[in-house]
Amino acid sequence: MVVQRKRSQRIKAKDRNGGVEILLAENVEHLGKQGEIVRVKPGYARNFLLPMGLATVATEANKMMLERHRIRQEEAAVARRKQIQALAAKIKDYSVTLEANATDDGHLYGSIVANDISKALKSANYAVEASQIKMDGPIKTLGMYTIPVELEQDVKSEVKVWVVPTASIK
Which burial class, exposed, middle or buried, applies to 154 when counting CB atoms under 10 A from its CB (0-12, 13-18, 19+)?
exposed
CA dihedral 74, 125, 143, 100 (to 10 degrees): -130
Phi and psi of 79, rounded to 5°? -65, -40
Given a cut of 70, whether residue 78 has pLDDT beyond it is yes
Residues composing the chain: 170
List, edge to edge, every strand of the sheet that includes 55-57.
37-40, 20-24, 55-57
Stated pTM of the model: 0.63
Model confidence at 170: pLDDT above 60: no
pLDDT 10s digits, 106-126: 899 989 999 999 999 999 999
- pLDDT score for 69: 87
Q: What integer pLDDT is reported at residue 116 of this predicted model?
A: 93
Average pLDDT over residues 81-103: 91
Ordered structural domains, the chain, with CATH = 12-58 (3.40.5.10), 88-165 (3.10.430.100)
